[in-house]
Amino acid sequence: MARMVKCVLLGREAEGLDWVPYPGELGKRLYDNVSKEAWQRWLAHQTMLINEYRLTPIEPKARKFLEEEMEKFFFFGGSTKPEGFTPEE
């Protein structure tokens, strides 16, 4: 049986993650409050951020930025898209 969580992003019960997706206290918080569907939305948003800002995720500054955006995305009303961003059709 799937583990269910009250997803902070979706605002409803949904299937929870199978593993802690990030180290530390933030990872535990994500595991307890984020669904698989919401995590997939974050991964798409994170990819857009990496591409638009030309980030190298191995660099500490980029990792810190992505961590802050992840917290905003799930727990503080959402992460914004870069200025001038237009999605491909």
Q: What share of the chain is helix, strand, coil (3-state, %, to 5)?
A: 50, 10, 40
If one counts every other C-beta atom within 10 angstroms of the C-beta of residue 35, the result is: 22
**CATH code at position 46:** 1.10.3880.10
Tokens of 38: 């919401």
Stronger pLDDT, 12 or 82, i.e. the higher one: 12
Res 82: pLDDT:
72
Structure confidence by residue, pLDDT tens digits, 15-62: 999 999 999 999 999 999 999 999 999 999 999 999 999 999 999 999
Domain span holding position 67: 4-75
Q: Give me the helix-helix angle, 60-75 and 24-33, nearest 10°.
A: 30
Domain assignment present for residue 32? The answer is yes
Can you give the pTM of this predicted structure? 0.87
Q: What is the DSSP letter of 58?
A: T
Among 12, 76, 80, residue whose Cα is nearest residue 49: 80
Domain assignment present for residue 84? The answer is no
